[in-house]
């Protein structure tokens, strides 16, 4: 009976340790991923940094913004249209240029050294609609809204601003 009790305690402790380690890993993971599925089961995915931003990472009007020190990364399984420009299947870097009255989403072909923004690598710039946010997040939050069979809207929220732009499947 005593051996059974010891085994039970050891098993319970190992479950608690594994649970604590998983919780700690979730807290230290600084990336998030969002996806949007089109009607033909192809998808687009964006990975972005959700870590707490330092003063140097804060958005500045008219300047390229790297939330948490990193741009967003777009992966697409299907050709897309953004602001009348076609993006082929592949990976891209997304930058954001915030302003008081509008934000701009920049798609760059530079995926090898994305922390060094190079305007010559830009493929398309798309104006984003902006609106107010009732419960402002303290970190960048991103999501996709599937608004039509061949249309996904990326939504970026930071502090009191929400910014939106649509990707269309070609």
The pLDDT assigned to 170 comes to 93
Residue from 46, 50, 47, 45 nearest 30 by CA: 50
How confident is the model at residue 109, as a pLDDT?
A: 95
| b/e sequence 48-84, b meaning 16+ C-beta within 10 Å | bbbbebeeebebeeeebbbbbebbbbbbbbbebbbee
Tell me the whole-structure pTM to 2 decimals. 0.77
- 24-28, 41-45, 85-89, 94-98: least confidently modelled range: 24-28
What integer pLDDT is reported at residue 54 of this predicted model? 61
41, exposed or middle or buried, with CB in 10 Å at 0-12, 13-18, 19+? exposed
Mind listing the pLDDT tens digit for each residue in 6-16?
Answer: 333 333 333 33
Among the residue ranges 10-24, 75-89, 92-106, 111-125, the one predicted with the least confidence is 10-24
52: pLDDT confidence band, cut at 50, 70 and 90?
A: low
Looking at residue 166, its pLDDT comes to 96
Q: Give the residue-averaged pLDDT of 17-44.
A: 68
How much of the chain exceeds pLDDT 70, in percent? 78
Q: What is the pLDDT of residues 129-155, one digit of tens each?
A: 999 888 767 788 899 999 999 999 999
Section 88-110 average pLDDT: 94
| Cα dist from 95 to 9, 48, 110, 118, 125, whole Å | 51, 11, 11, 11, 9
């Amino acid at each position: 009976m005593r051996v059974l009790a010891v085994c039970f305690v050891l098993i319970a402790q190992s479950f608690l340790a594994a649970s604590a380690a998983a919780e700690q890993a979730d807290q230290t993971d600084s990336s998030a991923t969002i996806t949007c599925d089109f009607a033909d089961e192809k998808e687009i995915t964006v990975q972005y940094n959700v870590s707490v931003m330092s003063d140097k990472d804060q958005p500045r009007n008219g300047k390229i913004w790297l939330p948490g020190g990193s741009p967003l990364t777009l992966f697409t399984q299907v050709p897309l249209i953004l602001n009348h420009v076609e993006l082929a299947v592949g990976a891209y870097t997304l930058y954001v240029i915030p302003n008081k009255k509008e934000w701009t989403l920049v798609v760059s072909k530079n995926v090898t050294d994305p922390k060094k923004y190079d305007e010559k690598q830009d493929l398309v710039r798309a104006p984003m609609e902006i609106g107010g946010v009732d419960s402002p997040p303290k970190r960048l939050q991103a999501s996709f809204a599937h608004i039509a069979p061949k249309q996904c809207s990326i939504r970026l929220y930071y502090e009191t601003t929400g910014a939106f732009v649509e990707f269309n499947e070609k």
